[in-house]
Amino acid sequence: MAGNEGVYEFAKNLAHEHAQVIPVSVFVAVLCLCFVVGHLLEENRWVNESITAICIGCIAGTIILLVSKGKSSHILRFNEELFFIYLLPPIIFNAGFQVKKKQFFRNFLTILMFGVIGVFISTSIIAVGSWLLFPKLGFVGLNARDYLAVGTIFSSTDTVCTLQVLHQDETPLLYSLVFGEGVVNDATSVVLFNAIQKIDVTRLSGANGLRVVGDFLYLFFTSTALGIAFGLLAAYALKTLCFGRHSSIREISLMVLLAYLSYMVAELLDLSGILTVFFCGILMSHYAWHNVSESSRITTRHVFAMMSFIAETFIFLYVGMDALDIEKWKITTLSLGDSLGIYSTILVLILLGRAAFVFPLSAISNYLNRRATGSSSLSFKHQVIIWWAGLIRGAVSIALAFKQFTYSGVTWDPVNATMITNTIIVVLFSTLVFGFLTKPLINYLLPHAATSTLNRKESKDISEDMNLPLLSFDESAETNISRAKDNLSMLMERPVYTIHSYWRRFDDAYMRPIFGGPLANQSAA
């Protein structure tokens, strides 16, 4: 009898393993199909990897729906915790690791305005607009925290489509702004989303609003400092211990594990793992990457990019499948007309929320970045492209929506199910429609690569200023005072340019000798 029970238990475990292996195998096979189709459509700049994955996901979801006789359209259940723990870190780390640091930090103030202040403005407009318009369209049941969460969910951008059309060498300023804002925007949206979860919605007041801002600033700067610390730790360890003398595998392993550890430590401390791993990636690229062997440099670039690519494709493939999730569509109680009204309202609010900060902040950026020649100012055409680039919604919006309105991807509440389907439809529409129109819009606004000369004069000026010390003990006090006055005058007239110049000089004099990397006049970073 005991023997029969053992055989039965073994058979049961084997069947359970098969039940887990088969869905994963099918999903991996579909992922491979996405890569093959994406390769075949590589020359077609109208269709990017995101659109390809979503379309294949919809087709696969339809087939699964037919095979399961209408029971389900996907083979894996979305878990937002797994997304934040396993899928998001490689995407954000690779963004920080691959970023062109010279352009990123030269335009850092503008990127910070778009990616931080812009999120606050967009969140406010979308949250207030939803609160005013949703009940008039027959959609009720959301509380104050839900409306604030809706604001952050639909303020998170996905600029992948635009970046695939823009050329970094032809439009360095525009590419840097779109890329930088996309990454900072995602991090800010998640940090703000987490800060909103802590407020007392029963006592909304100015004090609570200030508390949200205070929590956000604390999370932002503390998480950034933690990422910088881990990046410097990795750089110092690789430089002093010289792992490459024995094995490049150890170098690569240490970089990967320290990057992931920075994310997990931030999450354990209730900080923003996204910000931490992003700045860890920047610091590793700036210092640690120069301390490893040549083979490790090549390998790390490709390994990090590969991990990010697979994670992004996985997410968009699942979005395509989940769009046909029959369970959520059955739970929703809105009519087709009301649902279309909700989708349209969200899209209009996204358009307005983005326009409300892109054009005013661009004017402020032009003032702060003014030069004698005015060559690096953002023209109206550039502003339109930046506005358009942030209209597409993607993986982070999906993850935040699932985190707010489901439990491990499951919900039986009609209101929550409606918000999930709303988010999926908005992501699908914005990715497909806005994504398809991106190339013709950019070709119309920027028919020639005339912007490739932007910032060349500034680069020359910085190279010349690098040779001038802040203060010199070999010169007279009068000369030092005169130079200090000139530096202060330059700081008042051209703050961003001056700060960037000071940082490069400080980096060459103190940081690189300790943590590694070539001098600024030898680096093309």
In DSSP terms, 293 is beta-bridged to none
CB distance 95 to 281 below 8 Å: yes
Helix (H) or strand (E) holding 8: helix 2-40
CB distance 518 to 290 below 8 Å: yes
What's the angle, vertex CA 339, arms to CA 338 and CA 344, rounded to 5?
95
What is d(CA 487, CA 193) in angstroms, rounded to the nearest whole number?
Answer: 40
What is d(CA 487, CA 492) in angstroms, rounded to the nearest whole number?
Answer: 9
Measured CA to CA in angstroms, residue 326 lies from 65, 410, 481 at distances of 8, 12, 73
How many other C-beta atoms lie within 10 A of the C-beta of residue 225? Answer: 14
Token readout for 301 is: 């670039």
pLDDT for 206 equals 66
- Where are the domain boundaries for CATH 1.20.1530.20 in the chain? 80-448
What is d(CA 235, CA 244) in angstroms, rounded to the nearest whole number?
Answer: 13
Place of tokens 């049941």: 141
In DSSP terms, 207 is beta-bridged to none
What's the angle, vertex CA 288, arms to CA 286 and CA 291, rounded to 5?
115
pLDDT for 2 equals 52
Spans in the chain with pLDDT lower than 50: 372-375, 449-477, 480-481, 483, 523-525
Residue 357, Cα to own-chain centre: how many angstroms?
18
Give per-residue burial for 253-291: e unless 16+ CB within 10 Å, then b.
Answer: ebbbebbbbbbebbbeeebbbbbbbbbbbbbbbbbbbbb
Per this entry, what is the length of the chain?
525
Please write the tens of the pLDDT for every residue from 107-159.
Answer: 888 888 999 999 999 999 999 999 999 999 888 888 888 999 999 999 988 87
Residue 287, Cα to own-chain centre: how many angstroms?
22
CB distance 92 to 354 below 8 Å: no
Which amino acid, 352?
Answer: L
The closest of 429, 454, 389 to 179, measured between CA atoms, is 389
Sign of CA pseudo-dihedral 73, 76, 79, 85: negative
pLDDT for 451 equals 38
Spell out the CATH class of 80-448.
mainly alpha
What is d(CA 402, CA 425) in angstroms, rounded to the nearest whole number?
Answer: 14
The closest of 162, 168, 161, 182 to 114, measured between CA atoms, is 182
pLDDT for 73 equals 63
CB distance 263 to 207 below 8 Å: no
pLDDT for 339 equals 85
Measured CA to CA in angstroms, residue 208 lies from 77, 122, 201, 213 at distances of 36, 19, 9, 9
pLDDT for 128 equals 95
> Where does 242-335 have alpha helices with state H?
248-268, 273-286, 294-322, 326-331
pLDDT for 463 equals 44
CB distance 167 to 143 below 8 Å: no
What are the DSSP calls for 509-520, one per residue?
IIIHHHH----G
β strands within 367-498, DSSP E: none
pLDDT for 330 equals 72
The closest of 306, 237, 244 to 516, measured between CA atoms, is 237
CB distance 254 to 234 below 8 Å: yes
What is d(CA 476, CA 12) in angstroms, rounded to the nearest whole number?
Answer: 86
pLDDT for 232 equals 94
What's the angle, vertex CA 65, arms to CA 64 and CA 66, rounded to 5?
90
pLDDT for 360 equals 94
CB distance 52 to 164 below 8 Å: no
Place of tokens 């024995």: 246
For 369, list phi and psi in degrees, rounded to 5: -100, 20
Residue 337, Cα to own-chain centre: how many angstroms?
33
Token readout for 271 is: 């900080």
CB distance 504 to 520 below 8 Å: yes
pLDDT for 408 equals 65
The closest of 353, 358, 375 to 454, measured between CA atoms, is 375
Measured CA to CA in angstroms, residue 298 lies from 41, 91, 289 at distances of 26, 18, 10
> Where does 390-430 have alpha helices with state H?
395-405, 414-429
Burial category of 460 from C-beta neighbours within 10 Å (exposed 0-12, middle 13-18, buried 19 and up): exposed
Token readout for 239 is: 């430089």
